[in-house]
Amino acid sequence: MTHLSYIKNSSKLAKAFLCLFAMTLTVSCDFEYELPEAGSITDITAPMASFSASQSEDNYLSYSFSNLSSSAINFEWDLGDGNTSTSKDVSNTYVSEGSYVVVLTVSDALGAKNTISKIVTVVKPPAPAAKVPTVLEASFEDNTLPDGTGDGRDSWRNDFGGVIQITSSPVQDGKQAAKFPSAGDRVAYQSGLEVTPNTDYVITYYYTIKTSPEGSITLNVLGGTIGSLSEVSSKSLASHVGTDQTDANTYVKVDLEFNSGANDAISLLITNEGSESRLDNVSIDLK
Amino acid sequence: MKHIKYIALAFIGGLSISCETNFLEPVPEVAVSSAGYFQNDEQIETGVMGIYDAIQGVNSTSLDDNRGVQIEYYVTEMRSDNTRTKSQEGEAAQFEEFNVTTQNGLVANYYRSFFNVIYRANLVLDNLENATAGSSAKFEAEAKFARAYAYFNLVRLFGDLPLVDALIGPLDTDIAFTRVPAANIYELIVSDFEFAANNLDNSQKNRASRAAAQGLLAKVHLTLGNYTQAQVLCESVIGGDYSLASNFSDIFYNESNNEVIFAVGYNPGVEADSQDFSAEWMNGVGRTAGVNYVTNEAIEALEAFGGDRATLSYRQDLSQATQYQVTKYLPNGEDGGADGKSFNTDATMSGNDWIVLRYADVLLMHVESILAGGQATSATAAISSFQQVRNRAGITSSVSEITKQDLLNERRVELAFENQRLFDLIRFGVAQEQLALFSGANGYGFSATDLLLPIPQREINLSNGKMTQNPGY
């Protein structure tokens, strides 16, 4: 029973509230237009202009502009050469090389604006020139390192064998050449010769071997570097085994072609067998 | 009565002493949970299988289930100029029309599915301490492979992403909702794939392998412009255990052939282990009226550059002559009879494996790495790889120079409907140009910002304002 009377009471109360509420509603209607900003929300997503530019693959004067703006519906492009557009994304072909100031102005439905400008420098992309590696101490001469020092073989020292000897006669070029004694325990190795991948090169060098006993001198072009001689076969790009023993005083010219393959750098490895050999004047050029 | 008080007190005391964590959070004895599981190799391997299960996705008509790679064609191929819906209906049509909304359920499902792959990979990585020394590295490699694969797909689709490289809980909102630059995501992808390549062999096709890691890493490097690294990886795969299938259709209908490097495995007729995309691509066989239908532009390309591949890649819809269907993944290899939609087996539970990486893709990536961003190449190694792919398709005329456009055309017809086209266009730097033309010709609404999908709105909502949306959405 107590519960019921409570509900009755409360319903009376509710009626009273309802009346009050209705009154306030009618009253508040009069103030609606006098308080236009009350309760309105500020625009927290103002337009932000943003774009990126990319040069066309087949015509370097053509650019595509990607519109990356947010909260914007109207776009005004000034492409810097007098051309304008109101499209979202645009592309433009410039008449000539030069710097152009590209301005993008964006706005939203409230008329809020935002502007960004970027300088687009139109230049012909340089044709990628293939690298030509420079062999250090290529002719085994003294003081020919870039800093003017060196004993003619400093660039060729390694852990794979003894250091090569230097001979002054016979030579093919300059005053000195590399000498490999008959024991075959000397090794010349030079790494870090920078090349362009997948490019055809030719390496030129000169060798001579004593007329007896039978022997040979081998030059290997290796992709990358090696940590031990066991890696030679797997990393060899090209090799030449010189076996011409007709005259110990006449150098034989070798032109060895190779393709650099998947390598940014190559190494050279020179070894001999059986007979005292000499080698001189190494150079690498594009084929 | 006094005694009872003491007894009660003692009892309460006893209770409070025994209230340790294992009392309040007991390890269930009759059900399996991740806490306390992963005690040995066998159990950890089930965790590894769980990762593949997440990639495989749930064969279901509900987008509440993680559909995994089964819905990947929506967010990749149907956003390219290769395919579209048959009847331009529903949220599926948003992809071809380039007006994907932030509420698109397929986008949200793909995002969630692949972050679930990442979660499951992190779960395995977090529980490696109980693995034997012999198995630990392999489990780690498989988990990292899957994590890198998932992130590579996600970062190309969404751009900057939360970087989740360890297990996180519901309270780790900073990690879950902070978008880090794509470059940082790529660092994780590269190191994960490298670990996988160094610790796996080539014994599996439905699980990670060394060649799969190397091949996908090559694609990562091509995307990043590291051409020499990509070339080395491609050459390593080319010198290995794989070869082109002599017959193009064998790639898809003779499963685990020697061309397949990595495929997501499915089994027919088993709801938990089958896929439905084969059915969805037919006329009203699946839940949709037909999706991933072939565009006129793709037909033109296939007829012009495809050789034998044209007839093996698409066909006229036998029930609707104006429409064209993909024939690379016909349900369980059946052609659907006279009307093209009558299958003896249940097409909605198809068993066709989804090929993620195959040898022809690696050969063409090899060409791309030698092209190295240039306009043309005549390098012998590139021509050899290129020619192998064309020869198999019956195009045996010899090539002396390969232009960038030649390579893009070749990739389009060789890998048509294999979810490569969109990524190829982006990687080759021609997506905006090409898709704007395609969109204009078909009355669609492409703009440059459509190259990235929107971050699903529910992620943004859950992030409490922390997560930002991609531009244009």
Residue of B nearest to A59 (CA): B375
The A-side interface with B (CB below 8 A) comprises 50, 52, 54, 56-58, 64-70, 88-89, 91, 128, 197-198, 259, 261-264
Q: Among all residues of chain A, which has the CA nearest to that of B230?
A: A262
Helices (H), B225-374: 227-238, 250-253, 277-280, 296-305, 309-313, 359-371
Say if CB B457 and CB B465 are below 8 A apart.
no
Question: Does A68 contact B433 at a Cβ distance shorter than 8 Å?
Answer: no
Strand partners, A51: A67
Chain B residue with minimum CA distance to A91? B433
Residue A115 is part of which domain span?
51-122
B380/A259 CB distance under 8 A: yes
For residue B232, which residues of chain A lie inside 8 Å, CB to CB?
262
Task: Please give the DSSP secondary-structure letter assigned to residue A23.
Answer: H
**Which H helix or E strand runs over B213?**
helix B210-224
| CA count, 13 A, side-chain hemisphere, B365 | 34
Say which of B370, B430, B451 has its CB closest to residue A57: B430
**Domain B201-265+354-428: top CATH class:** mainly alpha
- Report angle CA B57, B63, B64 to the nearest 5 degrees: 90
CA separation for the pair B326, B419 (Å, rounded): 12
Residue in A with minimal Cα distance to B468: A70
Q: Where are the beta strands (DSSP E) in B322-470?
A: 324-326, 354-358, 376-377, 402-403
Q: Is residue A287 within 8 Å of residue A215, measured between CB atoms?
A: no
Of A78, A102, A122, the last residue of a domain is: A122
| Run of H or E residues at A257 | strand A252-259
Quickly list H helices, B65-104.
Answer: 72-75, 93-96
Three-state SS letters, A228-252: CHHHHHHHEEEEEEECCCCCCCCCE
Angle between helix axes B404-414 and B359-371 (nearest 10 degrees) is 170
Contact list in A for residue B227 (CB cut-off 8 A) is 197
- Distance of alpha carbon B167 from alpha carbon B147, whole angstroms: 12
Predicted-complex ipTM score: 0.75
Q: Give the alpha-carbon dihedral of A89, A93, A96, A99, to 10 degrees.
A: 0
Judge whether A144 lies within some domain: no
- Give the residue among B267, B269, B273, B249 at the shortest CA–CA distance from B259: B249
Record: contact B432-A128, CB cut-off 8 A: no
Please tell me whether residues A170 and A279 are part of one structural domain. yes
Same domain? A268 vs A160:
yes
Angle, helix B105-126 to helix B133-158, in steps of 10 degrees: 160
Distance from CA of A71 to the nearest CA of B (A): 8
Of B228, B235, B471, the CB nearest to A264: B228
Burial class (CB in 10 A: 0-12, 13-18, 19+), B88: exposed
> Which residue on chain B is closest to A69 by alpha carbon?
B471
Per the domain annotation, does A137 fall within a domain?
A: no
Judged by CB atoms closer than 8 Å, whether chains meet at A262 and B231 is answered as: yes
From chain B, the residues in CB contact with A125 under 8 A are none
A14 in a domain, yes or no?
no
**pLDDT at residue A1, as a whole number:** 43
In a domain, A127, yes or no: no
- Which residues of chain A have a CB within 8 Å of the CB of B231? 197-198, 261-262
Whether residue B228 and residue A89 make contact (CB cut-off 8 A), yes or no, is no
Same domain membership, residue A158 and residue A118: no
The verdict on residue A178 lying in a domain is yes
Give the model's pLDDT for residue B4. Answer: 63
**Chain B residues with at least one Cβ partner in A under 8 Å:** 227-228, 231-232, 235, 369-370, 372, 374-375, 377, 379-382, 404, 428-430, 432-433, 436, 447-449, 451, 469, 471-472
What is the CATH architecture of B39-197+430-468? Alpha Horseshoe (1.25)
Strands A62-67, A51-55: pairing is antiparallel
A–B interface: beta-carbon pairs under 8 A: 64
pLDDT exceeds cutoff 80 at A195: yes
Confidence of residue A59 (pLDDT cuts 50, 70, 90): confident
Query: Rounded to a whole number, what is the distance in Å from the CA of B102 to chain A's nearest CA?
Result: 14
pLDDT of B440: 95
Res A15: pLDDT:
62
| Rounded Cα–Cα distance for residues A85 and A104 (Å) | 10
Q: Indicate if A264 and A158 belong to the same structural domain.
A: yes
Q: Which residues have C-beta within 8 Å of that of residue B107, sequence separation ≥ 6?
A: B75, B100, B453, B454, B456
Determine whether the interchain pair B469/A70 forms a contact, defined as Cβ–Cβ distance below 8 Å: yes
What is the domain count for chain A?
2
Task: Please indicate, yes or no, if residue A146 is contained in any of the structural domains.
Answer: no
Q: What share of chain A has pLDDT > 90, as a percent?
A: 76
**Of A73, A102, A122, which one is at a domain's C-terminal end?**
A122
Q: What is the CATH number of the domain that holds A250?
A: 2.60.120.260
**Where are the domains positioned within chain B?**
39-197+430-468, 201-265+354-428, 276-352
The partner residue sitting opposite B436, judged by closest CB among A57, A58, A89, is A89
What single DSSP character describes residue A270?
A: E
Of the candidates B375, B428, B447, the beta carbon closest to that of A88 is on: B447
CATH number at A77 reads 2.60.40.10
Does residue A45 carry a pLDDT above 70? yes
Residues A172 and A277 in one domain: yes
pLDDT of amino acid B11: 55
Q: What is the pLDDT of residue A7?
A: 47
Task: Give the C-alpha separation, B291 to B326, whole Å.
Answer: 10
**CA dist., res. B175 & res. A64, Å (int):** 35
Asked, for residue A64, whether it belongs to a domain, the answer is yes
Whether the pLDDT of residue A9 is over 70: the answer is no
Same fold, B39-197+430-468 and B201-265+354-428: yes
Each residue's pLDDT tens digit, A210-254: 999 999 999 999 999 999 999 999 999 999 999 999 999 999 999
pLDDT tens digits, chain B, 473 residues: what are they? 556 666 555 555 544 555 555 667 666 677 777 778 999 999 999 999 999 999 999 999 999 999 999 999 999 999 999 999 999 989 999 999 999 999 999 999 999 999 999 999 999 999 999 999 999 999 999 999 999 999 999 999 999 999 999 999 989 999 999 999 999 999 999 999 999 999 999 999 999 999 999 999 999 999 999 999 999 999 999 999 999 999 999 999 998 899 999 999 999 999 999 999 999 999 999 999 999 999 999 999 999 999 999 999 999 999 999 999 999 999 999 999 999 999 999 999 999 999 999 999 999 999 999 999 988 999 999 999 999 999 999 999 999 999 999 999 999 999 999 999 999 999 999 999 999 999 999 999 999 999 999 999 999 999 998 999 999 88
Task: Please determine, for residue A19, whether its predicted confidence score (pLDDT) is greater than 60.
Answer: no
